[in-house]
Structure 1
Amino acid sequence: MKKTLFLLCSAFSLCANNINAITRESASGTRASFVQIFDITKQINNKKLDNINPKIAITNSSGVMLTSVMNDINAIGYVSYGSLNNNIKALNIDNITINYENIKNKNYQISRNFNLIYKEENALIKDFLAFLNSNYACKIINDLKYICLNEKDYTSMNIKGKLTISGSSSISPLMQVLIKEYEKINPNANIDLLSTDSTMGYVSLMNNISDIAMLSRELKTSEKINNIKSFVLAKDAIAIIVNINNKLNNISKDDVKKIYEGKITKWQEIK
């Protein structure tokens, strides 16, 4: 029945009035960055808190977000730029197209850092971070549509050992490729990757389950403790996505904010 309804909506636009907004779960770093960038907040006791409308549907990963938007002509969501595929459409924001050049030259300003955090810098972590700063890693980062921030020479120390990295599902696809390349150069290293979300990555690091945590947001004030060290892996952008059959190509930053606050609920209300 659901599939039949989707086909009817696609063919005859019977459902074109209602916007089905989708957001990430509260622990998601992508959600935290999205809320901050679009100022979808409310002020309580001098603190800015997440103000995404509680009626908006929630997904628990970038992959689920992409699939949900792909299967619903009335859906709107958001994912990492590097996660985009041909099955969905990325909207222009205030007439600025999301692409590598616009992100790099800061014309497209819906961006955030991919952060790695760790507590202790042992020999393997030090060597792995040096690799992530290298020209090897820079090519991978750029090829996967992220912005490389460093491009230094790298010589492997051929360190033997094991690391566990966990956290953001937005960073995981990039990290998976980087780990594979690092292990080719350093066959004595073994790195496990656990894809969860930014908050769970932080918790795993604090509980000594992981050696490095991936955060697709900045550290919260409550998370900043003396022994936390941070490393910026790359710069990423957040894409606002709709179904590929949606006729909309551009949306204002203000309208995105109003959709997620529940103030705009129909497509014809978009300016």
Structure 2
Amino acid sequence: MGLTVCGASAADFDSSEDITVVSREDGSGTRGAFIELFGIQEEQDGEKVDMTTDEANITNSTSVMMTTVADDEYAIGYISLGSLDDSVKAVRIDGAEATVDDINDGTYKIFRPFNIATKGDVSDAAQDFINYIMSKDGQAVVEENKYIAVGEPEDYTSNGAEGKVVVAGSSSVSPVMQKLKEAYEKVNDKVEIEIQTSDSTTGMQNTIDGICDIGMASRELKDSETEAGLTATVIANDGIAVVVNNDNPIDELTSDQVKSVFTGETTTWADLEK
């Protein structure tokens, strides 16, 4: 199945226009997962090489990605499913919708883990927050915010900790972490949670360097990160939605079409109709 359009906007959409490819910055966990899942990352001489076109516009956060696509009728990008709102439109991939239901039933295959990372022993306050995240209450927050819960959560019981916890990293994980912070501070107001949003790689490095207590990554940890002493815990699974402008009549693409667009092989919307 190829490109699908709906009739309402098709007459106003000029498919001869160039596709505006919008990608995330190097270090973004969402970019790392996206290029791996769509085969945009290729192995050459034993090295994994990101084949994203040099013509791509680079954005440095989920919110900037969404604004960029929302402002350009001919743009295409990708975001965390949990961050998806009506400012952009998610297209179906290989016939499946970017929804929790389609991920759970195995039809939508574009998803990745949300990880938190720690190094060595953590403070009582950090451990208490982690215990909350992985509890029934914490995983309920995950599900309420359009992410996929993990594990077999148990009831939360506070260890009575006090203090401050700094959490840093992925802008994709940050929205659900903010919700978890707000819920946690209602049950333990003696711990202050500070969230610093950047990208997955920066979050992991800050955790290694002891700048933060907990790092956030919207991807699997790299070997170099675990070798540096980080331990990862999956707190949720999250789909990656391929998004276009709301005025774009396209409803569906195949995985191969997405790859061809982001590697620069396909450069106009009309090329996708061939």
With normalisation by structure 1, the TM-score equals 0.93
Q: Relative to structure 1, is the Cα distance of residues 227 and 221 closer, same or farther in structure 2, using a 3 angstrom cutoff?
A: closer
Per-residue CA deviations over 1:77-131 (Å, capped at 9, x if unaligned) read 0000011111111000011111121112222110000000001233222221111
SS of corresponding position for 1:30: helix
SS of corresponding position for 1:107: coil
- Contact kept? 2:75, 2:244, Cα under 8 Å: yes
Q: In the alignment, residue 62 of structure 1 is paired with which amino acid?
A: T
* Cα offset, 1:207, TM superposition: 1.6
Matched, 1:229 2:231: yes
Q: Which runs of 4+ in 1 moved over 3 A?
A: 9-16
Q: Distance in 1 between matches of 2:104 and 2:248?
A: 28
Q: How many residue pairs are counted as aligned between the two chains?
A: 263
Counterpart of 2:125 in structure 1 is: 124
Counterpart of 1:197 in structure 2 is: 199
* Cα offset, 1:45, TM superposition: 2.5
Counterpart of 1:53 in structure 2 is: 53
Q: Distance in 2 between matches of 1:213 and 1:16?
A: 44
Matched, 1:270 2:272: yes
SS of corresponding position for 2:155: coil
Matched, 1:115 2:115: yes
Counterpart of 1:98 in structure 2 is: 98
Q: Relative to structure 1, is the Cα distance of residues 10 and 109 closer, same or farther in structure 2, using a 3 angstrom cutoff?
A: closer
- Contact kept? 1:16, 1:74, Cα under 8 Å: no
Matched, 1:210 2:221: no
Deviates more, 1:135-144 or 1:111-120: 135-144
Counterpart of 2:5 in structure 1 is: none
- Contact kept? 2:114, 2:234, Cα under 8 Å: yes
Q: In the alignment, residue 141 of structure 1 is paired with which amino acid?
A: V
> RMSD across aligned C-alpha pairs, in angstroms?
1.7
Counterpart of 2:185 in structure 1 is: 183
* Cα offset, 1:202, TM superposition: 1.1
Q: Distance in 2 between matches of 1:10 and 1:171?
A: 35
Counterpart of 1:32 in structure 2 is: 32
Q: In the alignment, residue 56 of structure 1 is paired with which amino acid?
A: A
Counterpart of 2:149 in structure 1 is: 148
- Contact kept? 2:15, 2:269, Cα under 8 Å: no
Overall identity of the aligned pairs, in %: 37
Counterpart of 2:260 in structure 1 is: 258
Matched, 1:18 2:18: yes
Q: In the alignment, residue 207 of structure 1 is paired with which amino acid?
A: D
* Cα offset, 1:143, TM superposition: 1.0
Q: Relative to structure 1, is the Cα distance of residues 252 and 14 closer, same or farther in structure 2, using a 3 angstrom cutoff?
A: closer
Counterpart of 1:72 in structure 2 is: 72
Q: In the alignment, residue 35 of structure 2 is paired with which amino acid?
A: V
Per-residue CA deviations over 1:17-45 (Å, capped at 9, x if unaligned) read 31111000011010000011011023332
- Contact kept? 1:116, 1:233, Cα under 8 Å: yes
- Contact kept? 2:13, 2:249, Cα under 8 Å: no
Q: Relative to structure 1, is the Cα distance of residues 12 and 91 closer, same or farther in structure 2, using a 3 angstrom cutoff?
A: closer
- Contact kept? 1:10, 1:73, Cα under 8 Å: no
SS of corresponding position for 1:18: coil
- Contact kept? 2:80, 2:241, Cα under 8 Å: yes
Counterpart of 2:160 in structure 1 is: 158
SS of corresponding position for 2:78: strand
The answer to which structure, 1 or 2, has the higher relative contact order (CA under 8 A, 6+ apart) is 2
Q: Distance in 2 between matches of 1:46 and 1:230?
A: 26
* Cα offset, 1:158, TM superposition: 2.2
Deviates more, 1:24-33 or 1:151-160: 151-160
* Cα offset, 1:49, TM superposition: 1.5
Q: Distance in 1 between matches of 2:16 and 2:225?
A: 43
SS of corresponding position for 1:32: helix
- Contact kept? 1:158, 1:187, Cα under 8 Å: no
| Gapped regions of structure 2 (runs ≥ 5) | 1-8
* Cα offset, 1:156, TM superposition: 1.5
Q: Distance in 1 between matches of 2:41 and 2:229?
A: 30
* Cα offset, 1:14, TM superposition: 4.6
* Cα offset, 1:11, TM superposition: 8.6
SS of corresponding position for 1:65: helix
